[in-house]
């Protein structure tokens, strides 16, 4: 039978105790031990650090030195092998506790040393240490991953911020060019400036979505709340988006007549995304309906298109980040698949509901409801504002 060899480093100033240990170990039937014996504190420490053994057993009394000090020093020098302290019956109280606190894994009283107990103490100390190291490794790996994750998202958010600055300038130049155009002169320049402006808007939209998602992930999406007229916001957004599509007629159905409490810009962002999705993903249709209503305590808005819709099995996914349907007809539409995820987060934070109804081939209706009023404090808005500026 192949008996596994356990290498023991024994630090013991008393030769008789060394011989006794050898004898006891030799009697253990199912294991083989190799004992390396060191007599002094200094040689012991040197051998510990050399690390050519599986376990260290050391005496509490080492000449004028104390085994517990040796344990402490070895541990402070990153000694990772298991340590078992050997104590005499007369060594006094609480050495066991001191030993464990200093970094020993177990202790055994010399008077009680006999084969089976000795074998068990050695085996357990080795196994426990192994498990402990394994656990620490796992923990530190997890920690490193989290650290990396954090650095990565900080990096992304920095990159996105850096992209914003030149984009804002570009947008300004494009608008300036359009304004400088004198009607009846160079048509082509006007057209190019217009296209440039719309491409810059697209890019700004993508960057803003990305920025919002990094804020959501970091728990830093902030809201600036006020009372505002819901219908006016809806009309404003429809007017804003009308020039972006030649094909679609955007029809408004119903009004709410309500003033609501919430973040006007963020809620507008949700409506913009619903509408621009309808324009992008139902490109071969002419009509988009924007329906609004109120039941006296909430407002409801729906954007309905008559395009390909979203298949039943995909409907639950459209609100997940980075999710985009694979559809050849619309695969050229620009987008990162973030808009609906951000919309869902905004509506959730504004204490409303968001949902999708769709029958494949017949179109999609995206809706939300929002409470007219809810508990609020202007302080929260102010705080939110200063945090937002700090990001």
Ligand X SMILES: Nc1ncnc2c1ncn2[C@@H]1O[C@H](COP(=O)(O)OP(=O)(O)O)[C@@H](O)[C@H]1O
Among 44, 82, 339, 352, binds ligand X (CB under 6 A): 339
> Minimal distance in Å, beta carbon 237 to ligand X?
15
Nearer to ligand X, 105 or 305 (CB): 305
Nearer to ligand X, 44 or 309 (CB): 309
85 binds, among Mg ion, ligand X, none (CB under 5 to 8 A by kind): none
- Based on the shown chain and the rule CB under 5 A, indicate whether residue 269 belongs to the binding site for Mg ion: no
Q: Which residue is nearest to ligand X (CB)?
A: 335
Nearer to ligand X, 108 or 279 (CB): 279
Binding string, residues 15-54; x marks residues near ligand X by CB under 6 A: ----------------------------------------
- Based on the shown chain and the rule CB under 5 A, indicate whether residue 262 belongs to the binding site for Mg ion: no
User: Strand 83-87 relative to strand 65-66: parallel, antiparallel, unpaired?
Assistant: unpaired
352 binds, among Mg ion, ligand X, none (CB under 5 to 8 A by kind): none
325 binds, among Mg ion, ligand X, none (CB under 5 to 8 A by kind): ligand X
Among 273, 302, 304, 369, binds Mg ion (CB under 5 A): 273
> Minimal distance in Å, beta carbon 352 to Mg ion?
18
Among 103, 337, 371, 381, binds ligand X (CB under 6 A): 337
> Minimal distance in Å, beta carbon 262 to ligand X?
20
Nearer to Mg ion, 108 or 301 (CB): 301
Angstrom CA distances, 152 to 105, 147, 221, 256, 371, stand at 39, 8, 18, 44, 37
Pick the stretch among 104-112, 166-174, 192-200, 338-346 that binds ligand X (CB under 6 A): 338-346
> Minimal distance in Å, beta carbon 347 to ligand X?
13
Q: Find the binding residues for ligand X in span 257-296 (CB under 6 A).
A: 273, 277-278, 281-282
Footprint of Mg ion on this chain (CB under 5 A)?
Answer: 273, 277, 339
Footprint of ligand X on this chain (CB under 6 A)?
Answer: 273, 277-278, 281-282, 305, 307-310, 318, 323-325, 335-341, 364
């Amino acid at each position: 039978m192949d008996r596994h060899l356990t290498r023991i480093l024994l630090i013991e100033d008393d030769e008789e105790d060394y011989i006794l240990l050898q004898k006891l170990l030799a009697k253990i039937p199912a294991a083989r031990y190799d004992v390396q014996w060191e007599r002094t504190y200094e040689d012991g420490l040197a051998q510990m650090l050399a690390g050519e053994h599986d376990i260290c057993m050391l005496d509490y009394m080492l000449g004028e030195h104390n085994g517990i000090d040796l344990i402490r020093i070895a541990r402070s020098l990153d000694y990772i092998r298991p340590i078992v302290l050997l104590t005499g019956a007369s060594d006094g109280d609480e050495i066991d506790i001191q030993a464990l606190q200093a970094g020993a894994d177990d202790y055994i009283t010399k008077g009680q040393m006999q084969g089976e107990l000795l074998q068990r103490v050695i085996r357990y100390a080795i196994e426990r240490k192994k498990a402990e190291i394994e656990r620490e490794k796992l923990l530190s790996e997890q920690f490193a991953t989290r650290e990396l994750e954090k650095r990565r998202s900080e990096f992304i958010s920095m990159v996105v911020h850096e992209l914003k600055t030149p984009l804002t300038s570009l947008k300004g130049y494009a608008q300036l060019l359009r304004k400088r155009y004198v009607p009846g002169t160079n048509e082509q320049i006007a057209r190019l400036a217009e296209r440039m402006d719309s491409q810059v808007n697209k890019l700004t939209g993508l960057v803003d979505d990305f920025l919002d998602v990094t804020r959501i992930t970091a728990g830093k999406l902030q809201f600036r709340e006020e009372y505002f007229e819901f219908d006016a916001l809806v009309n404003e957004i429809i007017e804003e988006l009308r020039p972006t599509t030649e094909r679609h007629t955007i029809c408004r159905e119903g009004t709410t007549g309500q003033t609501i409490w919430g973040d006007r810009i963020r809620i507008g962002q949700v409506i913009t995304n619903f509408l621009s999705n309808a324009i992008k993903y139902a490109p071969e249709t002419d009509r988009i309906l924007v329906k609004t209503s109120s039941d006296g305590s909430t407002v409801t808005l729906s954007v309905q298109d008559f395009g390909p819709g979203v298949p039943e099995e995909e409907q639950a996914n459209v609100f997940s980040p980075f999710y985009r349907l694979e559809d050849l007809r619309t695969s050229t539409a620009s987008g990162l698949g973030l808009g609906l995820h951000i919309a869902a987060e905004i509506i959730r934070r504004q204490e409303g509901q968001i949902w999708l109804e769709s029958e494949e081939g017949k179109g999609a209706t995206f809706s939300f409801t929002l409470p007219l009023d809810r508990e609020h404090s202007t302080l929260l808005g102010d705080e939110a504002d200063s945090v937002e500026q700090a990001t």
